[in-house]
Amino acid sequence: MAEKHRPGADNEEAAAGPAGAEKQRGPKFRRRAEARPDEVLDAALDLFMEQGFATTRVEDIARRAGLSKGTVYLYFPSKQAVLEALVRRAVTPIADMALGNLAAYEGDPRLVISATLRMLVVKLGDPRLIAIPKLIMREVVNFPELAEMYRREVLDRIIPVVTDRIEWGIEHGYFRPVDPELTIRSIVGPILLHLLMAEVFGLTPRDGLALDRFIENHLTILFDGLSAKGGAQ
């Protein structure tokens, strides 16, 4: 027999928090509860992709996930918290991987920058992952706090490390004596513009987004202009 929903149960769960709610039920519930944050995030991402962040309500996310609205609030206090969790789940691990590669490498910076951008292309081949930066581009005008969150979680961590690699490359004769801060924009800017042209203006190459071809083209132009002539090879 199906369990009847008690009036006010959602409020009781929300007040108790995830741990308190789980203690009130058995091991089967606890096993299911461990998967619920990901179920909420999966449902939210589907809805954000389909109808946008602004028009999606928490109750819509709950319905798609097969949960009550109160249960969603056990794990995420707001819709923005859901989006922040999506960024952390999907994008932050990539930033961590890139940081590890860049910070530990002391050879030709062209090699590690190229490897990092190629790794990014492989990861962004997942439609559900590339949906996150696309979503932020689409919604940032109405929700500037989304840009601030993405900057905090990704850009503020990556930019100092890449700047350090550029400075190291200049010092050791791999790069021309360029401005490292401006060079960061020459590395990242074309990638953002490529995504922006596709997402906002619907302009893509004939074979679609073609991120793999774009990155190889970008690296050729970038390093032909950045590499020091007659310097380290």
CATH number at residue 153: 1.10.357.10
Structure tokens at 125: 């081949």
Indicate whether 50 and 157 sit together in one domain.
Answer: no
Compute how many other C-beta atoms are within 10 angstroms of the C-beta atom of residue 233.
9
By the 10 Å C-beta count (0-12 exposed, 13-18 middle, 19+ buried), 154 is classed as: buried
Indicate whether 158 and 206 sit together in one domain.
Answer: yes
Q: Predicted confidence band at 6 (pLDDT cuts at 50, 70, 90)?
A: very low
Residue 173: domain span: 91-226
| pLDDT tens, residue by residue, 142-197 | 888 888 888 888 889 999 999 999 999 999 999 999 999 999 999 999 998 999 89
Indicate whether 65 and 97 sit together in one domain.
Answer: no
Mean per-residue pLDDT, 33-56: 91
Whether 231 maps to a domain, the answer reads no
Structure tokens at 24: 């009130």
Whether 83 maps to a domain, the answer reads no
What's residue 9's pLDDT?
Answer: 47
Chain centroid to CA 167: how far?
Answer: 27
Q: Which of 22-26, 101-105, 154-158, 202-206 has the lowest mean pLDDT?
A: 22-26
Indicate whether 69 and 172 sit together in one domain.
Answer: no
Find the Cα–Cα–Cα–Cα dihedral 123, 126, 132, 135, rounded to 10°: 130
pLDDT above 90 covers a percentage of the chain that reads: 56
Mean per-residue pLDDT, 77-83: 92
Mean per-residue pLDDT, 44-48: 96
Higher pLDDT, 186 or 32: 186
